Amino acid sequence: MGILRMSDLDLRGKRVLIREDLNVPQDDDGRITDATRIEASLPTIRQAMEMGGKVLVMAHLGRPKGERNPKYSLAPVAERLTELLGTDVPLIADWYDRVPPEVENLGEGEVALLENVRFHPGDTENDEAFSKQMAALCDVYVNDAFGTAHRAQASTHGVAQYAPVAVAGPLLAKEIDSLTAALDNPRRPLVAIVGGAKVSGKLEVLKALTERVDQLIVGGGIANTFLLAEGRNIGGSLAEAELVDEARSVIEACRAKGAEVPLPTDVVVAKEFSEEAPVRTCAVEEVGDDEMILDVGPETAARFAELVKGAGTILWNGPLGAFELPQCAEGTRTLAHAIADSEAFSAAGGGDTLAAIAMTGTTEKISYISTGGGAFLEWVEGKKLPAIAILEERADQA
Ligand code: AMP
């Protein structure tokens, strides 16, 4: 099913309500420490303004639990938007139960920011009345926030149901196009790398991927559980003994399709998880009882890089090791460079993966970096994301 896109519409004179992901990190004094998300939203906002829309931006910040809380005010975001857009972006504080005069009086090509949607309990509850209240603010609702697309909330789902027109913004549309390209009709072979801390958080993803991919590579704490499943001694490494059967069934499912899940043959180990801890590289058979596997070794990293080199499409979530520790970052670095250098279409996503990619300086060379952590993983699992499903429904009715 298709969706309508903001660029398909004539926005002149229309009140356009855009849901953005502006949930930026702040320090203790409320200063924005990373404005990437605000910067990412600028092209959409500018485009809507240039198209003659009366632009209202809405977003959440933190978890204010349905109450007004100055700590979570979007005031610093309004200030930053004002700077970056070079035009005044007023913050509208009272809009939760009415259409305020600031909205009524907004002119063509002007923009304002609505205060945190989560100051009202109805947002996370996808409350019908609050959704209708939001819908009454606009002629056109634009969802541009992929990061919250896996949640059915008033600002991502309910409002799309009741707004006169509901469409995807350019950022969301790009996410949808890229993930569709990577998963629905991928250039083969499709290679997926799933690393990170725990199997438990990614079991569904691993299972879904075994059905779709030509080659699955596991890394990080996840690989430890797989090593355990293969009967290896992994000393004091992070692993989930209760999930070895699940790991074994993933290995079996891949084997049945003719693809082994390659496990680390050499590893980097330490006696404690700290930046000061001395590390050594050894064969996987030589891990001591008092040691932890914190990264793959160079031989393993080179083998994974070789597999990545031959890929048509690459999907990546999760580091190969504890990359925050400089002495345990090499495996992840080798992988990131291999992905960056490959000819394949590469898509990466999920919280720590972006930090790992940024650390290696390869951000520009990955074909597509998803902004959504949970949403990215749920998409890969093959789940329908509610915020996208409702846009499809609305397009169908149009
Ligand atoms: P995730 O959020 O699931 O992608 O997991 C990322 C986290 O996994 C990072 O904080 C890494 O430090 C951690 N991690 C990766 N490999 C290991 C490992 N072998 N042992 C302990 N932690 C790891």
Atom number of ligand 1 nearest to Cα 202: 3
Catalytic option among 66, 236, 351, 382: 351
Q: Is-catalytic flag, 310?
A: no
Residues near ligand 1 with C-beta < 6 Å? 196-197, 201, 220-221, 224, 238, 293-294, 318-319, 321-322, 324, 350-352
Nearest alpha carbon, ligand 1 atom 10: 322
The whole-number pLDDT of residue 350 equals 79
Say if CB 22 and CB 41 are below 8 A apart.
yes
Give the number of other Cβ atoms within 10 Å of residue 344's Cβ. Answer: 22
Closest atom of ligand 1 to 201 CA is 3
Is the pLDDT at 1 greater than 90? The verdict is: no
pLDDT of 127 reads 98
| pLDDT tops 70 at residue 153 | yes
| Cα distances (Å, whole numbers) of residue 174 to 6, 92, 230, 374, 375 | 12, 29, 40, 17, 14
Question: Ligand 1: which of 193, 281, 294, 333 to mutate, most ligand atoms within 8 Å of CB?
Answer: 294
Ligand 1 test: best mutation among 205, 218, 232, 238, most atoms within 8 Å of CB? 238
Mean pLDDT across 160-176: 97
Sequence letter at residue 74? L
What is the Å distance from ligand 1's center to 335 Cα? Answer: 15
For residues 36-73, b (16+ Cβ closer than 10 Å) or e, as one string? ebbeebeebbbbbbebbbbbbbbbbbeebeeeeeeebb
The answer to whether residues 144 and 170 touch, using CB atoms and an 8 Å cutoff, is: yes
Residue 122: active-site member:
no
Q: Are 268 and 328 in contact (CB under 8 A)?
A: yes
Rg of the Cα atoms in the chain:
23
Query: What kind and span of H or E run contains 368?
Result: strand 368-369
Q: If DSSP codes are grouped into helix, strand and coil, which group holds residue 296?
A: strand
Residue 96 CB coordination number (10 Å): 17
Calculate mean pLDDT across residues 176-184: 89
Residue of the nearest CA to atom 5 in ligand 1? 196
| Residue to mutate, 217, 304, 323, ligand 1, most ligand atoms under 8 Å from C-beta | 323
Of the candidates 96, 10, 87, which has an alpha carbon nearest to the alpha carbon of residue 58?
96
Task: Specify the pTM.
Answer: 0.87
198 catalytic per annotation: yes
Confidence of residue 57 (pLDDT cuts 50, 70, 90): very high
166 Cα: distance to centroid of ligand 1 (angstroms): 39
Q: For 63-118, what is each residue's pLDDT tens digit?
A: 999 999 999 999 999 999 999 999 999 999 999 999 999 999 999 999 999 999 99
> Annotated catalytic, 351?
yes
pLDDT mean over 291-308: 98
